[in-house]
Structure 1
Amino acid sequence: MMANESLKEVFSDVTLTEDPNTFKEPNRVKYLLTGCGNRDTGTKHYEVRGSFDEIEDLFVKMSILDRYAAPNLRDSLLRHQQRPRSPPSPVKPVAIVGAVWDFIQQRCSKELKRIQGEDVLIHKPRDKMVVTFQSHRKDSVWVHFARERFVTFYQRLATDLKVQTYSLAPQYYKNLQGQFPELLIEGGPSKDNITVTGRYMHIVMLEDVLRFHGSSSPVTSQRPLTPQRVSPRASGTTRNKQSDDEEDEESCPICLETIKEDRKKTLACKHSFCRGCLEEAYNTKPVCPTCGAVYGELKGTQPKGGTMAVTRERSSLSGYDKYGTIVIQYHIPSGIQKEEHPNPGQNYQGVSRTAYLPDSSEGRYVLALLKRAFDQRLTFTIGRSSTTGMENRVTWNDIHHKTSRRGGTSCYGYPDPDYLRRLQDELKVKGIY
């Protein structure tokens, strides 16, 4: 899920080449290079080899040191301009799935626009299942960059996206459109079936609602989803003989009958239900059937047996210069999927991930929340890897972590001044606050 994690997997052995004499403090640079190990190249340059994290940390330490201005800069620029330019490398199109692309266009237009920026156009030819990347600039660097950002976004979304088909009574179609605006619902009241595309958690919430309207299964229904008890208001029966007071009576979103005052239960989110209907809904999941607010302790499908180790470092994260760093190391071992997982009985591949928080009072508070999420098995799940596309892998589960110390939001790193607040909002949706 995280862009920087893919870099670590692809670039496991990285080499940094540097000339200490270009710095105003060459001895300090030599000390840094020597401390990390170096190889004499027979020239002025030193070579240091290591992991992605090690080389990244060394590069950052050296980037804050002062360098000498390049000598004869004007002559160097002139010589560079006189060199024949090699043609820019072509930017390859990206193969897509039609359902995912339709969802991006209709529900993720803001994210797509952010990826394109002002100079890149992401386009899908009418007769092909690929998207292309174009720019009016001669320099193709930004086009390549936009392509990589799109691939990361597309893989993360495709991993979480589900497409389901349901048989649905016509009177429920309009209500579903208003109740689940984040879902892409195709089909209409005149058709027996609707196709729904959306993120996994939104599909689960939809199926919770449909289940209480008569479906015998939490997955695709093969028959019209009609409620066990249909009120005149729900079925469209003429109400000319009903009084105006009855028109204002409140209906239970689960059974669609008028809620009797002595059986009414109103949640803190202000949604009301028949007490019996709500108790039955809570047996499936302790959330509001209308908005998804949590009223209990959610349990996820994270494989058991994992660990969450926490250490602290003195170095600071970008944007939190006054504080040290909290380092979280997750490890989920490989195993065999259970009934709650996508492919029970099949093997799944485990994962190790590292995340970072500022060692501030707010960072320590968020750490405690993340510990609760891990204990409730909400941090990871089993699905398709966003970096390799392989199935039956342990993946992140909609609790966004910073897996890079720096690089900003595009690299899932710092600085990101709103990150801790957003993370608390994500955890609150899962009942952790």
Structure 2
Amino acid sequence: MASSSMKEIFSDVTLTVDLTTFKDPDMVKEIFKESKHKIKQITKTSQYQAEGSFEDIEDVFVKLSSLERHTTSGSKHQQQAQMSPDQVKPVDIQGTVMEYMQHKCSKELRRIEANDVTISTSLGKTDKTVLVSFKPLGRSGSSQACAHFARERFITLYQRTATDLRVVSHSVADQNLSYLQNNFPELWIVSRSGNMTVTGPYAHIRRLENFLSNRKSSTPGRNTTTQRQRAGASGASPVSHAQQQDDSEDTCAICMDSIRERHRETLKCKHSFCTSCLKRAFEFKPVCPTCGALYGELKGTQPEGGSMSTSIRSSSLPGYEKCGTIVICYEIPSGTQKEEHPSPGERYEGAARTAFLPDNPEGRKVLHLLKRAFDQRLVFTVGHSSTSGRDNVVTWNDIHHKTATHGGPTCYGYPDSYYLKRVQDELKVKGIQ
């Protein structure tokens, strides 16, 4: 039965939980507390009861399923089966982003698959989405873990790609298509009947639009660098390797026009641009349009007005038995999307999230880095949720968090000996170290 049908049939669902069956009752309370804005809670002695929609109750149930429970005679096998699901949940994502990834991120997708997992797509929940599935090639537990890791890595790639992706349309002659594809390799260009649809990162689309605009407004004798490049591409007037190198050094990679010396801006990475072009590009994102080197402080699209609070528990995380646990609570209220979001003017649904770190020197260092990322609006964004399939909601950005205390990496929990290093690497890419 499709998920949407389940929601229509079960509009109100009740979940009753006995705290005494869990090894960490405090974690159960945290999950209920995190979901308080979505579900009605009734507390009776050691029992917690939640009432809400099928989707919200399902979300609570999945989180509870990852927690360790006390085992009793005759039920151990059943509980282990609950805690070790043998299917990796598929991801419902925007079809446009997936098409772009298949054409322009094929190497990254192959690395995610490696030799252990296959990634396949099918029709999504709407006509604009696709369902991405992850199937292990083997039947062992390690193969299943590989599929869970592949899903996590895929979501990271998807979020990183979708955050910066733009789609525009232009009218252009078909004979220019191969030239544009060769000179703008980061863009996926599809031409039909004289019109082309271009999908790609903002900075590269900006370069293309400036290039097309300069071609329309150019007059004979002007923009000779671009004219020589076009002639060389068509084979009418071969250009030497040395001449091509000189041209590339004197051509702005944003507007594709010659850089006038008095308007030149050269970055520390040695790439040069028109001063005005670089200023406009840095207003969107302070990175070199050519190599991606970061300049200044990166700002994200996380909605404003949220909060990040922390507390300390005495209980330990698996793999960190000699220290307590840092509990991070994020609260992002609902609001109206701004120009930096996918649907400006429309409402978005807020979120409450809880994450966990070991209370040791490295964990406290990661906490400090995450606080900086939160202040720079990099932890969350507004868009399509890969877990619920809904649009216009607050979702994680591409900085991984541990949202469960137990269950290992497949359940976004501990033990995971490489997590603290991985998250520091993800933050370093954003200039936070």
Structure 2 distance, partners of 1:372, 1:328, is 14
**DSSP 3-state at the match of 1:356:** strand
> Partner of 1:164 in structure 2?
167
Provide closer, same or farther for how the CA distance between residues 361 and 235 of structure 1 changes in structure 2, counting only shifts above 3 A. Answer: farther
Q: What is the Cα-based RMSD across aligned positions, in Å?
A: 5.3
Q: Which moved more, 1:234-243 or 1:334-343?
A: 234-243
Task: Give the residue type in structure 1 aligned to 2:295.
Answer: Y
- Which one-letter code corresponds to 2:413 in the other structure? G
Q: How far apart in 2 are the matches of 1:399 and 1:32?
A: 26
Answer whether contact 2:93 2:386 (CA < 8 A) is retained: no
| C-alpha separation in 2, matches of 1:90 and 1:241 | 56
**Aligned equivalent of 2:356:** 356
Could you tell me which residue of structure 2 aligns to residue 175 of structure 1?
A: 183
> Partner letter of residue 308 of structure 1?
M
Deviates more, 1:251-260 or 1:155-164: 155-164
Shift of 1:266: 2.7
Q: Do 1:255 and 1:277's aligned partners in 2 also have CA atoms closer than 8 Å? A: yes
Identify the residue that residue 206 of structure 1 maps to in structure 2.
204
Using the size of structure 1 for normalisation, the TM-score is 0.62
Q: By how many angstroms is 1:337 displaced?
A: 2.6
- Aligned partners of 1:244 and 1:145: how far apart in 2? 51
CA, structure 1 residues 205+275, in 2 after alignment: closer, same or farther (shift >3 Å)? closer
- Kept in 1, the 8 Å contact 2:66–2:406? The answer is no
**Alpha-carbon deviation of 1:150?**
8.6
Relative to structure 1, the CA distance from residue 277 to residue 410 in structure 2 (aligned partners, 3 Å threshold; closer, same or farther) is same
Instruction: Name the counterpart of 1:235.
Output: 227
Q: Check if 1:323 corresponds to 2:331.
A: no
CA–CA distance in 2 between the matches of 1:228 and 1:186?
Answer: 23
| Distance change >3 Å, CA 415–CA 192, structure 1 → 2 | farther
Q: Structure 2: which amino acid aligns with 1:316? A: S
Unmatched runs of 5 consecutive residues or more in structure 1: 1-9, 19-28, 38-47, 71-88, 216-223
Distance 1:209 1:323, change over 3 A: farther
C-alpha distance in 1, partners of 2:335/2:241?
Answer: 62
Give, in whole Å, the separation in 2 of the partners of 1:90 and 1:364.
Answer: 34
Partners of 1:211 and 1:133 lie apart in 2 by 37
2:5 match = none
Matches of 1:145 and 1:102, distance apart in 2:
26
Give the deviation of 1:332 after TM superposition: 0.7
- Could you say which residue in structure 2 is the equivalent of 1:428? 428
* Secondary structure in structure 2 of the residue aligned to 1:213: helix
Contact 1:253 1:273 in 2 (8 A): yes
Aligned to 1:377: 377
SS at structure 2 position matched to 1:296: coil
Give the 3 Å change call, closer, same or farther, for CA 416–210 of structure 1 in structure 2: farther
Q: How far did 1:294 drift?
A: 2.5
Measured in 2, the distance between the counterparts of 1:246 and 1:116 equals 38
**What CA distance in whole angstroms lies between the structure 1 residues aligned with 2:424 and 2:324?**
20
Between the two proteins, the alignment pairs up a number of residues equal to: 358
Q: Flag the structure with larger Rg.
A: 1
Cα distance, 1:105 vs structure 2: 5.0
Distance 1:256 1:197, change over 3 A: closer
Q: Within 1, Cα distance between the matches of 2:241 and 2:154?
A: 53
Q: 1:284: how far off?
A: 4.1
- Residue 368 of structure 2 is matched in structure 1 by 368
**Aligned to 1:416, what secondary structure does the other structure show?**
coil
Residue 206 of structure 2 contacts residue 254 of structure 2 at CA under 8 Å; is this kept in 1? no
Give 3-state SS (helix, strand or coil) of 2:321's partner: coil
CA contact (8 A) 1:16 1:55 kept: no
> SS where residue 248 of structure 1 aligns?
helix
Q: Structure 1 residues 432, 210: closer, same or farther in 2, change over 3 A?
A: farther
Task: Give the alignment's TM-score, normalised by structure 2.
Answer: 0.62
SS class of match (2:211): coil
Contiguous gaps of at least 5 residues in structure 2: 1-12, 30-45, 49-59, 75-85, 124-129
Once residues 145 and 308 of structure 1 are traced to their aligned partners in structure 2, the CA distance between those partners, rounded to angstroms, is: 31
**Pair 1:416–1:108, CA change in 2 (3 A):** farther
Q: Which residue of 2 aligns with 1:399?
A: 399
Instruction: From the superposition, tell whether residues 246 and 207 of structure 1 become closer, same or farther in structure 2 (CA, over 3 Å).
Output: closer
One-letter amino acid matched to 2:167 = Q
Deviations 1:245-302 (A, max 9, x none): 7863512213434546665433233322234432343344322122333312233222
Aligned twin of 2:246: 248
1:384-410 CA-partner distances (Å, limit 9, x unpaired): 222322222111122222212233332
* Percent pairwise identity: 43
Give the deviation of 1:15 after TM superposition.
5.0
**Aligned counterparts, 1:133-152, within 5 A:** none
Q: Is the 8 A contact 1:259 1:274 kept in 2?
A: yes
Cα 1:303–1:124 shift into 2, 3 Å: closer
Q: Matched residues in 1 for 2:91 and 2:218: separation?
A: 47
Which residue pairs with 2:52 in the alignment?
Answer: none
